[in-house]
């Protein structure tokens, strides 16, 4: 991958590479702990597909360990999200309608031992972001089924103040970067939602063993993390939603009954996010299978082609 210094990776032999990987795991473990124990606030820019937006964030870790966070978009259409321990409490604009069941749950904690099976953890050196000294950590995929990530970790706190999502050609897909970053207590009033932040109700979780659509192929390391029915935004039909992750990357599979409706296969990409839809014939009628996630387009296409209805025998 072009964002890595290949010469730096090749020099030093196997012992040096093992030491670097070990140090990388330590930095990743520190990041996971920092997000659960440190309060901070700041302003960051987000870039995807050549489009930029700016945001403010307030992240408070209370004395009882409860994590409260408010995210506010500063330009364009008003968008706001308030979370408590990773669960969305309210969202404004279209976000309230677009949030899925899986997004209402806390994200999985980073597990360096697991991630090192699918990513090489490499320390690339040092940098400076928002006036703060950082250590640069790269997670380089061991295969072509996921993207690489470059993290700039604040040396004082261990928190990520910049991240780059990069494909196998070294092309930038997504950028997150603080322009102002302050560590310390967050004023409680800053966490209060605005008037347009609509409460988001969680739906009861469905049993993962009930009506789970199978897949003939999944990228190595990806496992089913949740399965739940959802109401389609385009109809009153129930849509099956299954979410898979490898401990870092994530994709969702949606299965929606077509009821004789006309639908074309679709493949598209907007920045880091790909969407692949294909019509699937089943004993109970045709359905549309859609795979959405921040994974390579070829990976999403192969997943979509492998989906089978519950109980259907594998060829």
* Same-domain check for residues 268 and 216: yes
pLDDT tens profile 207-263:
444 578 999 999 999 999 988 887 665 566 778 889 999 999 999 999 999 887 888
* Same-domain check for residues 28 and 159: yes
* Same-domain check for residues 225 and 85: no
* Same-domain check for residues 267 and 187: no
| The three-state (H, E, C) secondary structure of the chain, written as one string | CCCCCHHHHHCCHHHHHHHHHHHHHHHHHHHHHHHHHCCEEEEEEEEECCEEEEEEEEEEECCCCCEEEEEEECCCCCCEEEEECCEEEEECCCHHHHCCHHHHCCCCCCCHHHHCCCEEEEEEEEEEECCEEEEEEEEEECCCCCCEEEEEEECCCCCEEEEEEECCCCCEEEEEEEEEEEECCCCHHHHCCCCCCEECCCCCCCCCCCCCCEECCCCCCCEEEEEEEEECCCCCCEEEEEEEECCCCEEEEEEEECCCCCCCCEEEEECCEEEEEEEECCCCCCEEEEEEECCCHHHHHHHHHHEECCCCCCC
Predicted confidence band of residue 200 (pLDDT cuts 50, 70, 90): confident
- CB–CB of 309/280 below 8 Å? yes
Specify the CATH number for the domain of residue 158.
2.50.20.10
Residue 116 within a domain: yes
* Same-domain check for residues 171 and 244: no
Domain closes at, from 162, 182, 198? 198
Domain count, the chain: 2
Among 134, 7, 273, 219, smallest CA distance to 150 is for 134
* Same-domain check for residues 168 and 28: yes
Choice among 186-190, 239-243, 254-258, 311-315 with the minimum mean pLDDT: 311-315
Cα separations in angstroms, 165 against 68, 169, 200, 235:
26, 12, 29, 34
* Same-domain check for residues 16 and 102: yes
For 255, the domain range is: 203-308
* Same-domain check for residues 28 and 151: yes
* Same-domain check for residues 30 and 173: yes
* Rounded-to-integer distance, Cα 163 and Cα 176, Å: 5
Domain closes at, from 172, 198, 224? 198
- CB–CB of 83/69 below 8 Å? yes
Residue 1 within a domain: no
Mean pLDDT of the chain, nearest integer: 83
Residue 315 within a domain: no
Domain closes at, from 198, 214, 249? 198
* Same-domain check for residues 137 and 211: no
Residue 146 within a domain: yes
* Rounded-to-integer distance, Cα 56 and Cα 275, Å: 28
Specify the CATH number for the domain of residue 272.
3.30.200.100
Residue 313 within a domain: no
* Same-domain check for residues 118 and 243: no
pLDDT tens profile 105-158:
334 478 888 999 999 999 999 999 999 999 999 999 999 999 999 999 999 999
Is the pLDDT confidence value at 269 over 50? yes
Residue 166 within a domain: yes
* Same-domain check for residues 174 and 30: yes
- Which range has the top average pLDDT, 91-100, 162-171, 195-204? 162-171
Q: Specify the residue for token string 């598209």.
A: 268
């Amino acid at each position: 991958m072009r964002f890595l210094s290949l010469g730096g990776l090749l020099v030093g032999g196997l012992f040096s590479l093992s030491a670097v990987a070990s140090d990388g795991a330590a930095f990743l473990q520190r990041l996971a702990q920092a997000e659960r124990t440190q309060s901070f606030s700041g302003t960051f820019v987000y870039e995807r597909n050549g489009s930029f937006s700016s945001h403010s964030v307030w992240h408070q870790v209370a004395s009882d360990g409860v994590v409260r966070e408010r995210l506010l978009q500063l330009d364009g259409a008003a968008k706001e999200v308030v979370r408590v321990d990773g669960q969305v409490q309210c969202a404004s604009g279209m976000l309230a309608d677009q949030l899925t069941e899986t997004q209402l749950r806390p994200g999985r904690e980073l597990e360096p031992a697991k991630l090192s099976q699918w990513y090489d953890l490499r320390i690339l050196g040092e940098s400076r972001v928002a006036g703060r000294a950082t250590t640069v950590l790269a997670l380089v995929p061991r295969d072509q089924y996921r993207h690489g990530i470059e993290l700039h970790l604040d040396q004082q706190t261990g928190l990520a103040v910049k991240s780059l999502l990069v494909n196998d050609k070294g092309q930038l897909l997504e950028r997150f970067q603080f322009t102002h970053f302050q560590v310390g207590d967050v004023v409680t009033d800053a966490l209060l939602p605005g008037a347009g932040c609509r409460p988001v109700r969680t739906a009861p979780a469905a049993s993962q063993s009930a009506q789970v659509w199978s897949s003939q192929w999944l990228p190595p390391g990806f496992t089913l993390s949740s399965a739940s029915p959802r109401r389609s935004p385009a109809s009153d039909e129930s849509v099956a939603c299954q979410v898979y992750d490898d401990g870092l990357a994530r994709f969702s599979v949606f299965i929606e009954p077509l009821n004789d409706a006309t639908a074309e296969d679709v493949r598209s990409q907007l920045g880091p996010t790909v969407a692949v839809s294909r019509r699937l014939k089943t004993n109970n009628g045709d359905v549309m299978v859609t795979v959405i996630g921040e994974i390579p387009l070829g990976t999403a296409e192969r997943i979509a082609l492998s989906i089978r209805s519950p109980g259907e025998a594998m060829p």
